[in-house]
Amino acid sequence: MSEPIVGIVMGSDSDWPMMEPAAAALTEFGVPFEAHVVSAHRTPRRMLDYAESAEARGLRVVIAGAGGAAHLPGMVAAATPLPVIGVPRPLDRLDGMDSLLSIVQMPAGVPVATVGIGGGRNAGLLAVRILAVADDALRAAVGRFQAELADSVLARDAALQE
């Protein structure tokens, strides 16, 4: 397998069901990735080591998912020049609004591209699009994916007419 160019990190292994669709999207497009548990609160030094070494290790995009006081995406973005995509996890309380606001409302200068609550798949697809900016073959694959998506909607509409 090729060296990973996308890093998926999550605050807990309990986040994996939300993050697995991100991994699945990357796999669909043949993008090599790694996935690790890296907690901003429980393993802060590990988080900094991960973020600070990410670029030199060959990563080009980081996808970070967390719930509650979800500081992981923002703190990773603070410690790497790579684009960071944040995925807010809905926990039992507050329906993920706390996670969303913790991730999306970043101070100017430290951007996190935040997807919707529980939006693991879109995070993976957004990472693919970011990589596709400098990769013609990947951009063509994104175009085919979009055409298939449109076809599937038309097919469902046609089924409704039967």
Binding residues: 12, 15, 42
In angstroms, give the least distance from the CB of 7 to ligand RP5. 15
Dist CA 30 CA 1 (whole Å): 10
Nearer to ligand RP5, 14 or 27 (CB): 14
Q: Is 39 in contact with 47 (CB distance < 8 Å)?
A: yes
Q: Is 75 in contact with 47 (CB distance < 8 Å)?
A: yes
Dist CA 152 CA 146 (whole Å): 10
In angstroms, give the least distance from the CB of 134 to ligand RP5. 31
Q: Footprint of ligand RP5 on this chain (CB under 6 A)?
A: 10-12, 14-15, 39, 41, 66-68, 89
Q: Which residues are annotated as a binding site for substrate?
A: 12, 15, 42
Pair of tokens at residue 16:
């994996």
In angstroms, give the least distance from the CB of 37 to ligand RP5. 9
The two beta strands, 61-67 and 113-114, are: unpaired
Tell me the residue nearest to ligand RP5 as measured from the CB.
Answer: 11
